[in-house]
Amino acid sequence: MHSLTESLFRAIDGISDRHIEECAVFDKSKIGKKENLSFVSAKPKRKKHRIKKTILLAAIIPVIASMTLFVGSGGKNTEIEEIPINIREGIFTLSYVEVEKGTLLHRMKIVMVPSLEINGEAMLSAPEKFSDEAESLVALHKENGFEELVLPSDFSSEKWAVSEKNFFISDDNRHWNSNVVLESEKGSVRLNVTRKFFLEGSRIIMNYNKPKRAESMVLNGLDVVIVEQAYGSISVEYFTRKTHGNGTTEDYGYSFVFNGYTFEEVTEIVRTLP
């Protein structure tokens, strides 16, 4: 060790006891408020916080006349557009300009297309052969009143393989999420099914990022499908409401992310659902 370096080392060694004692254990309670922010992120706050405020506000003020869904709450980027949805006789009518009412009047069913193959096995025809995750997925779809997953007929001509799958139910059983990625030569489809708890009287908030495009459609009254393009992928979000025997309602959201497909192709797929 160089003597000068050693001198500096010795000098540091000679700092007062109080500093050494103070630093024996990292005490988070001593971190100042301003300093604490640096632990979260050096970036400025994003507008995500605005969304939270809106939800909170919406939760406090019951809005009977309007019922909205919460879409794309990830706070992904800058522009946020609120899309009010009015309830008229229990039917969602989107007042969003791009809504094409009546384009699809069929209730969207969650169907595992029999010809859809995973690792050479037809999915619904022999669910017992699938992984536990896939079985659970099918079971949950059925449990929630969706018998079938509808995919366009030409999908059946493609050979699909599962590249990723997981299934998650939270500890408190308040929400569940399943994720299956199917891949073919043409592209891949991620089936991401999430049960969401929407607040009665809340407002719909949608991230609207350019060059993202979005198209909303009404499906058989209560269901809403939104096709949106963002971050190089196309997603189809599907919302529905289930009424329980005791009259209470719950809203569910499902999303399908299409990779390798164009916005037009996906829109067409959704439009031409049987």
Partner 1 sequence: MEDRNIIELFTERSERAIVELSEKYGNVCMKVAYNVLGNKEDSEECVNDAYLGVWNAIPPQKPNPLLTFVLRIVKNLSLKRLKYNTAKKRGADIPVCFDELSEVLTDMNLENSPEARLDIEMTAKVIDEFLETLSYTNRYLFVRRYWYMDSYESLSGETGLKEAAIRKRVSRMWTDLKLRLKSLEEGLSYA
Q: Under the rule (CB under 8 A), what is the footprint of partner 1?
A: 1-2, 4-5, 7-17, 19-27, 30-32, 35, 38-39
Which two structure tokens, joined as six digits, stand for 90? 């229990």
Task: Return the residue matching tokens 């809106």.
Answer: 54
How many other CB atoms are found less than 10 A from the CB of residue 107? 13
Q: What's the closest the beta carbon of residue 72 comes to partner 1, in angstroms? A: 29
**Please, which residue, 5 or 157, has the CB nearer to partner 1?**
5
50 CB-near residues (< 8 Å, 6+ apart) = 80
Measured in degrees and rounded to the nearest 5, phi and psi for residue 181 equal -110, 125
Q: What's the closest the beta carbon of residue 43 comes to partner 1, in angstroms? A: 13
Task: Return the residue matching tokens 């719909």.
Answer: 204
Contact criterion met (CB below 8 Å) for 179 and 165 = yes
Q: What's the closest the beta carbon of residue 44 comes to partner 1, in angstroms? A: 17
**Please, which residue, 31 or 57, has the CB nearer to partner 1?**
31
Q: What's the closest the beta carbon of residue 45 comes to partner 1, in angstroms? A: 19
5 CB-near residues (< 8 Å, 6+ apart) = none
Which two structure tokens, joined as six digits, stand for 19? 């500093």
Contact criterion met (CB below 8 Å) for 116 and 123 = yes
Q: What's the closest the beta carbon of residue 52 comes to partner 1, in angstroms? A: 23
- 197-225 in b/e form (b: 16+ CB < 10 A) is ebbebbbbbbbbbeebbbbbbbbeebbbb
Q: What's the closest the beta carbon of residue 29 comes to partner 1, in angstroms? A: 10
**Please, which residue, 29 or 157, has the CB nearer to partner 1?**
29
